[in-house]
Amino acid sequence: MPILFDAEKKVFRLDAGSSSYAFCIDSHGYLFHLYYGAKISDTDLFYLQSSLQMASFCPNPPDNSPFTLDTAFQEYPVNGTGDYRVSALSILGENGSTATSLQYRSHAIQKGKYALEGLPAVYADENEAETLDILMEDPLTGAEVHLLYGVLDNYSAITRAAVIRNGGSTPFVIEKAASAALDFPTMDFDMVHLYGQWAGERQVCRAPLTHDIRTVASKRGSSSHAHNPFAALVSHSATETTGEAYGASLVYSGNFAIEAECDALETTRLVMGVNPIDFAWTLNPGERFTTPEAVLVYSNEGLGGMSRTYHKLYRSHLCRGEWKEKIRPILVNNWEGTYFDFDEQKLLAIAKDAAELGIEMLVMDDGWFGKRNDDRSSLGDWFVNEEKLKGGLKPLVEKVNALGLKFGIWFEPEMISPDSELYREHPDWTLCAPGREPSIARNQYVLDMTRKDVQDYLFDAISAILSSANIAYVKWDFNRNLTEAASAKLPPERRKETFHRYVLGLYSLLDRLTSAYPHVLFEGCSGGGGRFDPAMLCYSPQIWTSDDTDAMERCRIQYGTSFVYPPSSISAHVSAVPNHQTGRVTSFETRGNVAMAGAFGYELDLTKLTAEEKELVKKQVAQYHAYAPLVQGGDFYRLLSPFESENRCAWMSVSPDKSEALVTFIVPRTRVNFNSYLRLAGLDPRKKYLDESAGRVLSGDTLMNAGLNLSRNYCDGESVLIHLKAVQ
Ligand code: DGJ
């Protein structure tokens, strides 16, 4: 039973994997947080509630009792009634006040995991999870707040969300509704988060918490390149393998905020959810608002343990559809090979070489539709450019299929070019605040995805293409941030709902399309990895990680991405040199070795490869077939961080039964006479492993404690792939 309720003490204890989480209902109806951490066995935990009640100037509700909300550890703190820290909920009532108060009313424990209306979420069946649904109420506004907890038996993961219903008789406005809040009785943490930019996503930042409010957020309309919707609080001494780590990951693709506040009492509050900036949601009597889901993971095996829990959970209980745990086809994408300059002949030449080399799919990127020969036109005109592809899509796809290859196609559905038939017909479909000129970015505007007619148009237009030929894959791109995001379709007082409604519209469309085309493999993309978030994984089990395909840059980007996202979701391609983003030259082997750590492919003009390079492609294709089950289905261990040393980077994958492992060792920048002992992780200490490259057999304990000796002189950018196989 993962959820226990001690009716006498009024304490809930949630046991998820090797973690426990506890809170109680106090005599005034408040929900006080008691504990989150390694598994414990008691429920009589009320003694853990804060007894420091000398907070100056703070009110003592409700009966002048000595306690104050400002020092209490709370499950879902509210605004304006005596807790001055960051709050989870703020409701603007009809009386014009945002003072909010919540009291416990009832609870229910059910088998299985709750689902969220209109929003993607972790799923689990009745044997795998339980749900706790706590009903709280604000007596004045009539707001009924359901706090949902999903407790997964076999994962150290607890999911949280809130559903707010207007149970009163007058409308109110939700100004902030977080998915989760978490109070810790200490601030002895480092905060880890992933920041970045276009072509430099998910860089790792780790810094101690201080007495302030630290916020990681996006208000760009998407989860964004700038910050990922993730943060971890880790003990100062935590490493990849040891120490405590609390991960917090938000299943959401829009504006989000994760706030960590430390007060003078040395406590920490973490609050995460939809960004309250540029947000307000009117709730009429009887209506409901659902927050996105927060996924909390506890690990006492350091950051590595936390990441592996996210990887397994997201791979098997968040990704959906037939591709989620299937080995992904090796694809060649023509973007960096041809950019917009292609026609049927060029594509077929690439496909012919691809087939000869063992590549399994050709992806036709941007430029196949409307009159699009550069990025200045045609977004929205989702019909084939017959000047480039004479006779249309079907004959091309048939020819590609005849070569033995699958065929994939690129779309950027959420956009509209001012120079497009769609814009000339429906200028009003552009997302824009009434009275303002829409800002342009990459020569394009954004469609108002809050509108049902826009969603229907896109469903029909994309369906027409997907049904017109044998299309096996869709790359779903999104290449600008939102501006003037105030839908003209909404009344002025509801326009701050636009950002969230945009995301709901996107999910609804993706849901319809992925259900209608269950065999199609969807890949997410946003100018590289600008929308690499858990919610997009529900529709696309792999995401284009970055437009930076330079192997050395990819070491950092893929390493950072692995903090939350499974290798099977990290799309990675071998591209040409000098690299188009950095101008750097790295060997073909290294480009392959780095890309091999994810959903593998090529992003170049195969017809331009030398005979020697073509032999290397064949070798990499064979390696991928041998190693993909290990990489995409195994356990991932980070060994040497490119954020800590510019000289060494390493990671490895271990099969679930520990009978096989693949180690990747990279030297981004060499040093002369520099030792390289590499201690491995995740092996069975008692098993003997054959290191195929060295022809040496060593036991797991030797490999994990003494390590491999990889010391020799390397060139900049050299790398080594080591395959280990258990021999007994
Ligand atoms: C941005 C993507 O990240 C690229 O891979 C490519 O598809 C371009 N858009 C096409 O415009």
Distance 717 CA to ligand 1 centre (A): 26
Give the residue-averaged pLDDT of 119-123. 98
State which ligand 1 atom lies nearest to the alpha carbon of 525.
Answer: 3
Contacts of 426 (CB under 8 A, 6+ apart): 457
Percent of the chain with pLDDT over 70: 99
Residue 219 in tokens: 């208000």
Give the residue-averaged pLDDT of 51-71. 76
Interval 230-249: pLDDT, tens: 999 999 999 999 999 999 99
From the CB of 651, is ligand 1 less than 6 Å away? no
pLDDT band at 728 (very low <50, low <70, confident <90, very high): confident
From the CB of 548, is ligand 1 less than 6 Å away? no
From the CB of 523, is ligand 1 less than 6 Å away? no
* Residue 62, pLDDT above cutoff 90: no
Distance 477 CA to ligand 1 centre (A): 7
Q: Alpha-carbon distance 577 to 525, whole Å?
A: 23
Ligand 1 pocket test, pick from 368, 473, 544 with the greatest ligand atom count within 8 Å of Cβ, gives: 544
Interval 146-168: pLDDT, tens: 999 999 999 999 999 999 999 99
Position 234 scores a pLDDT of 98
Interval 528-579: pLDDT, tens: 999 999 999 999 999 999 999 999 999 999 999 999 999 999 999 999 999 9
pTM for the whole structure: 0.98
* Residue 53, pLDDT above cutoff 70: no
State which ligand 1 atom lies nearest to the alpha carbon of 475.
Answer: 7
Where residue 302 falls (left for φ over 0; alpha for ψ -120 to 50; beta otherwise) is: left
Position 113 scores a pLDDT of 98
* Residue 431, pLDDT above cutoff 70: yes
Give the residue-averaged pLDDT of 167-175. 98
The catalytic position among 138, 477, 533, 548 is: 477
From the CB of 364, is ligand 1 less than 6 Å away? no
Q: Is 271 helix (H, G, I), strand (E, B) or coil?
A: strand
From the CB of 525, is ligand 1 less than 6 Å away? yes
Q: Whose CA is nearest to atom 1 of ligand 1?
A: 527
Cβ burial 407-427 (10 Å sphere, 16+ → b, else e)? bbbbbbbbbbbbbbebbeebe
Position 218 scores a pLDDT of 98
Residue 447 in tokens: 């469609």
The catalytic position among 547, 548, 605, 635 is: 547
Distance 568 CA to ligand 1 centre (A): 20
Interval 390-419: pLDDT, tens: 999 999 999 999 999 999 999 999 999 999
The question of whether 374 is a catalytic residue gets the answer: no
Position 55 scores a pLDDT of 63
The region of weakest confidence among 67-76, 90-99, 111-120, 675-684 is 67-76
Q: Whose CA is nearest to atom 11 of ligand 1?
A: 366
**Amino acid present at 450:** T
* Residue 525, pLDDT above cutoff 70: yes
Q: Alpha-carbon distance 673 to 671, whole Å?
A: 6
The question of whether 63 is a catalytic residue gets the answer: no
CA distances from 209 to 44, 502, 720 (A): 31, 34, 37
Give the residue-averaged pLDDT of 256-260. 98
State which ligand 1 atom lies nearest to the alpha carbon of 410.
Answer: 7
From the CB of 547, is ligand 1 less than 6 Å away? yes
* Residue 61, pLDDT above cutoff 90: no
Interval 657-671: pLDDT, tens: 999 999 999 999 999
From the CB of 259, is ligand 1 less than 6 Å away? no
SS (H, E, C) 198-216: CCEEEEEEEEECCCCEEEE
* Residue 598, pLDDT above cutoff 90: yes
Interval 640-657: pLDDT, tens: 999 999 999 999 999 999
* Residue 56, pLDDT above cutoff 80: no
* Residue 624, pLDDT above cutoff 80: yes
Give the residue-averaged pLDDT of 289-317. 98
Distance 411 CA to ligand 1 centre (A): 10
Position 54 scores a pLDDT of 64
